[in-house]
């Protein structure tokens, strides 16, 4: 082959290589994957097919976590869930905690949960995850499950575009902060008809409501009332509502040890929402 032929071919090969590299760099990254049984209650103010439970908690000092996928069984995708029918009416119950991460309440509740070897499910507001990323990382590192509770915690009717932004923006900050992808969604205030739950269902989220509430948003109630409410209404497969954010939740912190102790005395075992949904299979 002559020098001139080789030079021409070399130029063609290099041009082809550069074109391929530029095409690969400009390709859009794949979007985050999105995944997802009905009464209506009031709340606070303000895809895969198998359940992947939380991994065992790392050291309390560590906030480094592996990617987790809190997915839901097919039968619960796009459905609203208040309570789960469990085999043989086994006494299992799920504590759910809304509106965090929040200072100092979330860390105080984490300490109590850890002392009692209890795992809960936290439904996070996107802007509070953004404000308190280290607390968010600790929640996940200690083995708790996570759900999406929108970015702004609004109650008003919204357009599909706004609903999409509220949920997807929160999903992104949760993933970017903790490595968690979740198919669990709870609408702020428990409102099911303002467009948020509809969008979540369209993306196969499971819309998690509750079968009993601590009523810890009542500004006049003493913390002992929260304990009484939870123990009185406990049922197998139940979902308990309480809050760590959205305001001063010091009374909820005081009530939590009594809730845990009382439920254990009644024979209940604590599970996360993904674990509870898996039991109905």
Catalytic positions, written as ranges: 98, 243
**Token digits for 121?**
């499910």
Give the count of alpha carbons within 13 A of 181, CB side only: 15
Phi-psi region of 143 (alpha: psi -120 to 50; beta: other; left: phi over 0): left
Mutual orientation of helices 133-141 and 160-178 as an angle, nearest 10°? 70
Backbone angles phi, psi at 10, to 5 degrees: -60, -40
Hey, which residues does 143 pair with through a beta bridge?
none
Burial class (CB in 10 A: 0-12, 13-18, 19+), 111: middle
CA distance linking residue 199 with residue 205, whole number of Å: 9
- Kindly state the DSSP code that residue 243 receives in the 8-state scheme: E
| Cα distance between residue 264 and residue 26, in whole Å | 56
């Amino acid at each position: 082959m002559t020098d001139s032929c080789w030079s021409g071919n070399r130029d063609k090969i290099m041009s082809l290589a550069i074109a391929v590299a530029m095409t690969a760099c400009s390709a859009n990254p794949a979007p985050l994957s999105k995944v997802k049984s009905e009464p209506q209650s009031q709340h606070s103010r303000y895809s895969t097919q198998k359940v992947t439970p939380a991994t065992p908690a790392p050291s309390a000092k560590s906030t480094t976590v592996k990617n987790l996928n809190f997915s839901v069984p097919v039968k619960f995708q796009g459905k609203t869930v208040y309570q789960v029918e469990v085999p043989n009416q086994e006494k299992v119950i799920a504590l759910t905690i809304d509106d965090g991460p929040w200072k100092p309440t979330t860390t105080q509740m984490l300490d109590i949960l850890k002392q009692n070897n209890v795992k809960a499910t936290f439904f996070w507001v996107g802007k509070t995850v953004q404000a308190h990323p280290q607390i968010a990382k600790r929640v996940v590192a200690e083995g708790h499950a996570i759900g999406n509770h929108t970015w702004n915690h609004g109650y008003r009717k919204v357009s599909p575009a706004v609903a999409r932004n509220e949920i997807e923006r929160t999903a992104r900050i949760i993933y970017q902060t903790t490595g968690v992808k979740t198919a669990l969604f709870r609408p702020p205030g428990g409102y099911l008809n303002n467009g948020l739950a509809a969008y979540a269902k369209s993306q196969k989220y499971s819309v998690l409501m509750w079968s009993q509430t601590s009523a810890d948003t009542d500004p006049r109630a003493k913390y002992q009332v929260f304990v009484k409410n939870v123990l009185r209404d406990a049922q197998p497969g139940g979902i308990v509502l309480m809050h760590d954010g959205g305001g001063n939740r010091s009374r909820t912190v005081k009530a939590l040890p009594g809730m845990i102790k009382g439920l254990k005395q009644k024979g209940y075992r604590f599970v996360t929402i993904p674990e509870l949904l898996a039991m109905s299979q």
